[in-house]
């Protein structure tokens, strides 16, 4: 059941709704943001009340107001009194209105209420003939406003205790947001009763853009047709270009299948290898190797550490017969990013083949597979597409091995058949191609790095320890080692109830009392909401608002 079951978006027109608007206005702009003086009635009537149109999210049956936003189109605007010559800051030839009093009751702040309010307001403003709105947004939520498409302008206004940033939102910016976000593309009243969570910090399934969803929803086509072959080869070219690889084979299945295919190829070598372990995903490589009956040794370091050059050198000194090394680029369980260049240099110097699990790193950090024998990836996670396409990257030619490898895992058979030996699901490939075409990867990598710096800094400020040190942190994965006084499953459940989805239900996470927040999908979710909830749950005596 959704927290917003029974809620709708509408224009406030009932007496009790107007009273609830005044009460929420007081709660927000007197109690939380000290912009106005307290009063005994605990109600604040806006000075432009008679000119405002209040759009609200409300349960009419139970008479509960979850949030509100005000629309106003009469000059002078409130910003006219705060900024001299307001129009000089704004794009020209626009039809202008004003957004005011955006407020969501505390218990509903981590749901889709804000999305629905803005969606409904933009529709109302458009219906009234306006194509741009101005707002004074609290500086406490500036990142959220930017995510929603607002553009800051001019100096900060207001008082020392109630600072506001002037911003504007154009219809074009909102339309772009709807294109990028599958949730914003929907009607506002759909959002109120949507059980899907507003803030997805999962490693998968991830959120993807409307372009990806549209591509996936196109009618399927034959995997033998020339049109599909053309799109398939374009997809492979994009993947090779972004990873500096010569070839890639696409298999239908999860990333796990890609690692099974790598294990099958290593079995053809009939030589001993070394598997590197620094967490759960290194141990999973061991499972793949055992399933393929490989001959191998293991080298393990403590969880939360990255492999250093000396670690690999010492392991290979101790095991001179090793001919291949297999490790994880990102040890997802701990949020640690290993240095590919260290792997590459040591293996090259020793004449050892290098294999990598890049399932969690591809698409969120630069991945250079030069000199890498085999590497795995997936269409979900950082690629911000729909899971179901497994990838194996390589540079060398692969020959079919029908006597040694099952057909679905025989990478040589894929290469022999130009990548399409049997049925390839066209919708999944077209969704992946849409994601590849959509992203400007350098900008995406920087966006992920900014998110990482922000969330790690905020977690440090509330004394929630992250497992990986800054020097080896994976930007898209933050693993939180909760104090034993707090149960990770309970914290995860409570976050879920408040509309924030983190990873916590895997056995290894529950065992260690860890939770994870990830930046994998197409949308960059501001971390402030997650951090504020954690602060309240872990430090219950500390108020969310200062």
Residue with tokens 């909401």: 529
H or E, element range at 299: strand 296-300
Burial of 533 (0-12, 13-18, 19+ CB in 10 A): buried
- Residues 6 or more apart whose Cβ sits within 8 Å of residue 106: 544
Q: Which CATH superfamily is domain 8-196 in?
A: Gcn5-related N-acetyltransferase (GNAT) (3.40.630.30)
Query: Domain coordinates of the chain in residue numbers?
Result: 8-196, 210-438, 441-538
**DSSP, res 290:** H
- Of 185, 202, 203, 205, nearest to 194 by C-alpha is 185
> What does the pLDDT read at residue 440?
84
> What does the pLDDT read at residue 459?
92
Please tell me the total number of residues recorded for the chain in this structure: 546
The two tokens of residue 199 are 């803030």
> What does the pLDDT read at residue 110?
57
Cα separation of 521 and 210, whole Å? 12
CB 262 within 8 A of CB 378: no
- Of 309, 301, 359, nearest to 330 by C-alpha is 359
Strands 374-378 and 477-481, sheet pairing? unpaired
Q: What topology is assigned to 210-438 in CATH?
A: 3.40.640
Taking the whole predicted model, whether its pTM rises above 0.75 is answered as: no
**Series of mean pLDDT values for 10-residue runs along the chain (546 residues):** 74 94 92 85 92 93 92 93 92 93 82 82 91 89 81 89 88 80 52 52 85 89 93 97 97 97 98 97 97 97 96 96 98 96 96 98 96 97 94 97 96 96 95 91 90 92 91 96 91 86 93 94 76 81 29
> What does the pLDDT read at residue 546?
24
Beta strands in 1-73 (DSSP E): 8-11, 53-59, 64-72
**DSSP, res 206:** P
Pick one of 2.60.40.420, 3.90.1150.10, 3.40.50.450, 3.30.450.20 as the CATH number of 441-538. Answer: 3.90.1150.10
Q: What is the CA radius of gyration of the chain?
A: 27
CA–centroid distance for 213 within its chain: 16
**DSSP, res 278:** S
> What does the pLDDT read at residue 476?
95
Q: Is the dihedral of CA 500, 163, 106, 65 positive or negative?
A: negative
Burial of 471 (0-12, 13-18, 19+ CB in 10 A): exposed
> What does the pLDDT read at residue 162?
76
> What does the pLDDT read at residue 183?
55
Contacts of residues 213-217 at CB distance under 8 Å and 24 or more positions apart, as own/partner, are 213/182, 213/431, 214/434, 215/427, 215/430, 215/431, 215/433, 215/434, 216/386, 216/427, 216/428, 216/430, 216/431, 216/434, 217/427
| Cis bond upstream, residue 152 (ω within 30) | no
The two tokens of residue 335 are 């949020």
The two tokens of residue 80 are 């006219």
Cα separation of 48 and 158, whole Å? 17
């Amino acid at each position: 059941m959704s927290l917003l079951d029974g809620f709708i978006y509408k224009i406030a027109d009932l007496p009790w709704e107007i009273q609830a608007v005044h009460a929420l206005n007081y709660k927000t702009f007197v109690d939380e943001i000290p912009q106005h003086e307290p009063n005994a009635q605990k109600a604040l009537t806006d000075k432009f009340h008679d000119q405002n149109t209040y759009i609200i999210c409300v349960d009419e049956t139970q008479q509960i107001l979850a949030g509100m936003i005000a629309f106003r189109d009469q000059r002078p605007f409130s910003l006219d009194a705060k900024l001299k010559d307001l129009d000089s800051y704004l794009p020209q030839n626009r039809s202008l209105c004003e957004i005011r009093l955006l407020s969501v009751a505390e218990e509903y702040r981590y749901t889709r209420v804000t999305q629905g309010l803005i969606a409904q307001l933009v529709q109302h403003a458009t219906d009234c003939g306006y194509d741009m709105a101005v707002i004074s947004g609290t500086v406490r939520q500036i990142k959220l406003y930017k995510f929603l498409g607002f553009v800051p302008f001019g100096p900060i206004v207001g008082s020392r205790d109630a600072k506001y940033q002037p911003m504007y939102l154009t219809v074009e910016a909102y339309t772009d947001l709807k294109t990028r976000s599958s949730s914003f593309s929907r009607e506002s009243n759909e959002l109120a009763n949507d059980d899907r969570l507003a803030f997805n910090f999962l490693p998968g399934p991830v959120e993807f853009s409307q372009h990806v969803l549209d591509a996936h929803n196109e009618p399927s086509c034959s995997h033998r047709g020339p049109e599909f072959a053309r799109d398939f080869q374009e997809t492979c070219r994009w993947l090779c270009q972004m990873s500096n690889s010569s070839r890639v084979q696409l298999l239908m299945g999860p990333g796990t299948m890609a690692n099974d295919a790598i294990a099958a190829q290593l079995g053809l070598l009939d030589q001993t290898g070394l598997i590197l372990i620094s967490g759960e995903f290194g141990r999973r490589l061991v499972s793949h190797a055992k399933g393929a009956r490989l001959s191998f040794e293991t080298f393990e370091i403590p969880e939360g550490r990255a492999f250093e050059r000396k670690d690999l050198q010492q392991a290979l000194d101790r095991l001179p017969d090793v001919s291949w090394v297999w490790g994880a680029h990102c040890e997802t369980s701990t949020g640690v990013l290993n240095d590919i260049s260290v792997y590459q240099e040591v293996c090259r110097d020793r004449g050892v083949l290098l294999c990598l699990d890049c399932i969690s790193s591809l698409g969120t950090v630069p991945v250079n597979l030069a000199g890498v024998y085999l590497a795995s990836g997936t269409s979900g996670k950082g690629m911000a597409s729909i899971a179901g396409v497994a990838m194996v990257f390589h540079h060398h030619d692969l020959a079919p091995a029908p006597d040694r490898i099952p057909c679905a895992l025989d990478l040589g058979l894929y290469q022999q058949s130009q990548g399409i030996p049997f049925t390839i699901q066209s919708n999944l490939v077209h969704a992946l191609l849409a994601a590849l075409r959509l992203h400007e990867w350098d900008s995406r990598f920087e966006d992920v790095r900014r998110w990482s710096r922000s969330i790690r800094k905020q977690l440090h400020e509330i004394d929630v320890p992250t497992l990986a040190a800054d020097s080896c942190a994976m930007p898209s994965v933050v693993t939180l080692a909760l104090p034993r006084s707090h149960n990770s499953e309970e914290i995860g459940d409570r976050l879920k109830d408040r509309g924030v989805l983190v990873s916590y239900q895997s056995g290894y996470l529950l065992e260690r009392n860890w939770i994870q927040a990830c930046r994998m999908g197409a949308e960059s979710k501001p971390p402030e909401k997650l951090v504020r909830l954690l602060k309240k749950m872990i430090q219950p005596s500390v108020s969310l608002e200062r």
